[in-house]
Amino acid sequence: MALLVLVAALVLNTALHAAAQPADFLSIDCGLEANYSGYKDADTGIAYVSDEPYVDSGENHRIAADQESRWGDTNLRTLRSFPSGVRNCYALPTRAGTRYLVRLSFVHGNYDGSNADAGGGGGVGGGGWSTLSFDLYLGVDRWATVDKDYAHEAVFVAWASWAPVCLINTGSGTPFVSVVELRPLDDALYPSVMANQSMARYVRCSIGDNKEFITRYPGDQYDRFWWQLGYSSPTWKNLSTVSAITQDSIYTVPLTIIQTAVEAVGNNTMLNITWQDQTPRGRGLKFFMYFADFQNSQLRQFNVSFNDVEPYQYSPPYLTTGVLYNSGWSIATDGNYNISLVPTAASKLPPMINALEIYTLISHDNPTTFPVDFETIMAIKLEYGIKKNWMGDPCFPVKFAWEGVKCSNSSSNTARIISFFNSDGNMCNKPIIVPSPPGKRSNRAATLAILIVVPATLIVVLVLVFLIRRQQRKSNYSTEDPPRDQSELENALQTRQNHGDVLQIVENRQFTYSELEKVTNKFERHIGQGGFGPVYFGCLEDNTKVAVKMRSELSSHGLDEFFAEVQSLTKVHHRNLVSLIGYCWEKDHLALVYEYMDQGSICDRLRGNNGASETLNWRTRVRVMVEAAQGLDYLHKGCSLPIIHRDVKTSNILLGQNLQAKIADFGLSKTYLSETQTHISVTPAGTAGYIDPEYYQTSRLTESSDVYSFGIVLLEIATGEPPIISGQGHIIQRVKNKIVAGNISLIADARLDGAYEVSSMWKVVDTALQCTVDVVAQRPSMATVVAQLKESLALEESREDSGFMGSTSTVSDNTFSTSGFGPSAR
Ligand SMILES: *[C@@H]1O[C@H](CO)[C@@H](O)[C@H](O)[C@H]1NC(C)=O
Ligand SMILES: *[C@@H]1O[C@H](CO)[C@@H](O)[C@H](O)[C@H]1NC(C)=O
Ligand SMILES: *[C@@H]1O[C@H](CO)[C@@H](O)[C@H](O)[C@H]1NC(C)=O
Ligand SMILES: *[C@@H]1O[C@H](CO)[C@@H](O)[C@H](O)[C@H]1NC(C)=O
Ligand SMILES: *[C@@H]1O[C@H](CO)[C@@H](O)[C@H](O)[C@H]1NC(C)=O
Ligand SMILES: *[C@@H]1O[C@H](CO)[C@@H](O)[C@H](O)[C@H]1NC(C)=O
Ligand SMILES: *[C@@H]1O[C@H](CO)[C@@H](O)[C@H](O)[C@H]1NC(C)=O
Ligand SMILES: *[C@@H]1O[C@H](CO)[C@@H](O)[C@H](O)[C@H]1NC(C)=O
């Protein structure tokens, strides 16, 4: 026999509802276009976002037009359906150990014209939900069957940084979902929910004459849905008060709900709530009853019992919320449920009740993947943009185990991931593909598999293999003789480092928001404005200087750009690409932490912004362009699928120590999805003056659009002028107009004071004009651009070398040109 537990409501102040929704609410409007940045719900003030970042599969749909008026809530008008695959999951970001409420809402709205619509039905707007049936799983555990239901809710304790919520096709219709919502709960609320057991909401209702059909946030601080009890008995009387009611700060009930109640009619009469339901039969039930008396003149005392739970003698507190719940889980094997409030002999007034919650137990007795392994493989999935069937728990249930992921079956209930391989090779650096020796291609899978014993080593292993592969590409290793063991891998890495080709082993660090506050000294030094928000200077514990790029809420760029940037940056590591040190992802706080480039951007240097006074000399300019071109070439060709930067401009080429150039800001970058794809169709984006007209007109994005933008950058480097000068037109036209005169000094930046090798300058201008021709097919590849710029650099270097030989004094005079090299330096 379970015991009733009383939660004393001794906390004095009534919870005050904040005007804005709590920052840690995650509210997903399924089926919303990914390019739609979200909206605030007019009634609740809750901000809804697209589900694109949280799910890999499914199709977007809208409910039928004639159903829209029925569903006032914008978030119910779109949905995502899952016609393929048996299990499809959302991965919701969580904090391990935190207790959450998760809710999925379902409005079919005849979205597919199948008329699989329940029609009438009681409640919300009358119908709209489906006659279909499918299952919901919380991780690996069965949560509910969706069957003409509007919303399902569960309370759980997060076991990892991700909580998978899965829809399972049980053969009775295509699963779909309209809204997914995640709400963190107070740690002290619902203590029976633990890591090993969750619970599903079975009933949550207000009892009495409460006007609202559903009460939620801001009435409920946790945004639980409270329904009006759709039942009234002739032996009940409605009670209500307008007085303030003191609530426990944790066990709060919406005020409008606790201010109404029912009581039995007549003294000495009992109050029963009974029903029959086969659904939760055999499952443990937990109830929470909420009471607040509106009078204190007479004794109201009654015995509370629920099914098999021992009666508990209780007297509701005056204008204060009292909560009763059973400490264990009550089981009704016959499907009959029975709440009875029986007045005691001493009671002067009949029993009363204000609100009720009942939950069913979701026990976690299925095996799961070890949380750290799960988080690691999720990190890899995100970093490499792996989609496939990588959804839900990686190892369980076995029939849905992730493709290519091998799990141990240890005796305990948590499996370790022991290896995985990636067979589709669609990721940028195909991190784990070791080329097979010739003649053994058929046995590819075997060579793809890499043993990963301890997850923490996993990323390092990936990077090692990546290094090896690149090494092989550069023919330093023969493909007939791939390195086979760890020591060879290490040797290869060593060799590589000795060659000074800096490829960093990046294990991106995850920062908390408070760590970022510390790192940036409370965002003290604003150093710029990035694509999706402000950039701040920071300093890590080891004194590494960093640039912290925050995503501002006002940013026109959404989550997509954030993920594009994270994905591009984690996929590519090159000495001429700004490297990502870590990121912060705490619901509303998104930030990227980069290496700090202390010499500013090329743009600053050319325009003399931000205190950059010294003009770069020609040799430095060309060298910097060679480096930037190499970075871009790596993006286009260094990866198995091209990455297109989309926003190449002088302010995105940054200078670090020794004026080494690195390309930054991958917020708009796009990756091809397959090897056969010839272009990507997107809405043109970028910066005025740099956008390829072909791309602008056709929305067909290819690498040549970056080549075009790079051509504009080259013209700026040569002329020192911005792309567009109002009244004088675009830089291409300005340069072309001057070129006819045949005198390079009319084009070259006057601040160089003639200190450049003429043929070097010509070569840069000529390359720039090739890059910017209208006919896309005639533009050079970045590899060609690199080669031409290297020639230009060699020409300039030979001039300088000669200059040094000729006269060092002319150097100090800054009168290179007078030393007479080059036919028409002046
Ligand atoms: C979003 O993309 C769709 C096409 O996928 C387009 O029809 C729509 O206009 C876009 N919306 C916005 C706000 O850009
Ligand atoms: C009490 O309120 C409920 C809900 O509004 C209503 O259905 C019921 O008829 C009321 N009962 C009485 C006795 O007024
Ligand atoms: C209930 O008892 C109280 C006091 O004992 C009395 O004043 C009241 O009239 C009774 N109510 C009914 C409905 O009998
Ligand atoms: C309440 O339930 C008990 C036991 O099942 C029954 O004897 C009694 O008549 C019920 N009372 C009302 C008011 O329904
Ligand atoms: C209701 O609960 C009481 C115990 O409190 C029990 O005696 C009675 O049989 C139950 N009635 C139903 C209908 O389950
Ligand atoms: C109420 O429950 C107590 C035990 O908690 C019991 O002693 C008492 O007899 C019960 N009274 C009624 C009226 O059921
Ligand atoms: C969960 O663990 C608690 C103790 O930590 C235990 O009392 C409870 O029975 C367990 N629940 C299940 C469903 O195993
Ligand atoms: C692991 O489980 C699979 C299937 O569940 C079984 O075939 C295999 O023998 C098990 N391996 C070990 C080492 O227990």
Q: Are the beta carbons of 34 and 58 closer than 8 angstroms?
A: no
The better pLDDT of the pair 680, 330 is held by: 330
Ligand nearest to the Cα of 273, by number? 4
Ligand nearest to the Cα of 191, by number? 7
Task: Estimate the crossing angle of helix 703-719 against helix 782-806, to 10 degrees.
Answer: 20
Q: Is the pLDDT of residue 125 over 50?
A: no
The 10s digit of each residue's pLDDT in 649-694 is 898 899 988 889 998 876 666 665 555 566 666 666 677 778 887 7
Q: Are the beta carbons of 646 and 671 closer than 8 angstroms?
A: no
Q: Are the beta carbons of 323 and 9 closer than 8 angstroms?
A: yes
The 10s digit of each residue's pLDDT in 71-85 is 766 788 999 999 999
In the chain, the percentage of residues whose pLDDT exceeds 70 is 74
Element (H, E) at 759: helix 758-771
Q: Is the pLDDT of residue 324 over 60?
A: yes
Q: Is the pLDDT of residue 511 over 80?
A: yes
Model confidence, pTM: 0.59
Quick one: tokens of 232?
């009234």
Q: Is the pLDDT of residue 715 over 90?
A: yes
**Cα 785 to Cα 632: distance, rounded to the nearest angstrom:** 10
Question: How, if at all, do strands 99-105 and 151-157 pair?
Answer: antiparallel
Q: In the predicted model, what is the mean pLDDT of the chain?
A: 77
Alpha carbon of 269 to ligand 3 centroid (Å): 11
706 is an active site residue: no
Beta bridge partners of 147: 133
Element (H, E) at 653: strand 653-655
**Cα 284 to Cα 307: distance, rounded to the nearest angstrom:** 12
Give alpha helix (H) positions in 55-167: 65-68
Beta bridge partners of 340: 272, 305
Half-sphere exposure of 287 (CA within 13 A, CB side): 24
Which atom of ligand 2 is found nearest the CA of 210? 5
Q: Is the CB of 209 under 6 A from ligand 2?
A: yes
Which atom of ligand 1 is found nearest the CA of 683? 14
Q: Ligand 1 pocket by C-beta < 6 Å: which residues? A: 33, 35-36
Q: Is the pLDDT of residue 166 over 80?
A: yes
pLDDT for residue 505: 32
Which of 29, 32, 35, 39 to mutate for ligand 1's pocket (most ligand atoms within 8 Å of CB)? 35
Out of 38-42, 323-327, 557-561, which region has the weakest mean confidence (pLDDT)? 557-561
Closest to 212 in 3D by CA, of 268, 153, 272, 253: 253
Q: Ligand 8 pocket by C-beta < 6 Å: which residues? A: 398, 409
pLDDT for residue 781: 93
**Cα 146 to Cα 173: distance, rounded to the nearest angstrom:** 11
Task: Estimate the crossing angle of helix 703-719 against helix 731-739, to 10 degrees.
Answer: 60
Half-sphere exposure of 475 (CA within 13 A, CB side): 0
Range 790-805 average pLDDT: 76
The 10s digit of each residue's pLDDT in 112-123 is 888 766 543 333
Which residue, judged by its Cα, is nearest atom 14 of ligand 4? 272
pLDDT for residue 812: 28
The 10s digit of each residue's pLDDT in 354-375 is 999 999 999 898 999 988 788 8
Which of 232, 267, 340 to mutate for ligand 4's pocket (most ligand atoms within 8 Å of CB)? 340
The better pLDDT of the pair 506, 619 is held by: 619
Is 642 strand, coil or helix?
coil
Beta bridge partners of 179: 29, 105
Q: Are the beta carbons of 24 and 262 closer than 8 angstroms?
A: no
The 10s digit of each residue's pLDDT in 718-754 is 999 999 888 888 999 999 888 887 788 889 999 998 8
Q: Is the pLDDT of residue 12 over 90?
A: no
Distances 61 to 78, 481, 597 between C-alpha atoms, Å: 6, 52, 45
Residue in the block written with tokens 């276009």 = 33
Which residues, 6 or more positions from 469, have their beta carbon under 8 angstroms from its beta carbon?
A: 429, 430, 433, 434, 435
Which atom of ligand 3 is found nearest the CA of 266? 13
Beta bridge partners of 156: 100
The better pLDDT of the pair 381, 768 is held by: 768
Which residue, judged by its Cα, is nearest atom 5 of ligand 1? 33
User: DSSP assignment of 266-326, as one string?
Assistant: STT--EEEEEE-STTTTS-EEEEEEE-BS--SS-B-EEEEETTSPPEEE-PPBTB-EEEEE
Give all domains of the chain, ordered by start, each with its CATH number.
20-185 (2.60.120.430), 195-364 (2.60.120), 368-475 (no CATH), 486-595 (3.30.200.20), 602-673+680-824 (1.10.510.10)
Residue of 141, 647, 706, 749 with catalytic role: 647
Q: Is the pLDDT of residue 231 over 70?
A: yes
Which atom of ligand 5 is found nearest the CA of 337? 14
**Cα 813 to Cα 802: distance, rounded to the nearest angstrom:** 16
pLDDT for residue 60: 95
Q: Is the pLDDT of residue 644 over 70?
A: yes
Q: Is the pLDDT of residue 807 over 60?
A: no
Alpha carbon of 409 to ligand 8 centroid (Å): 6
Q: Are the beta carbons of 368 and 415 closer than 8 angstroms?
A: yes
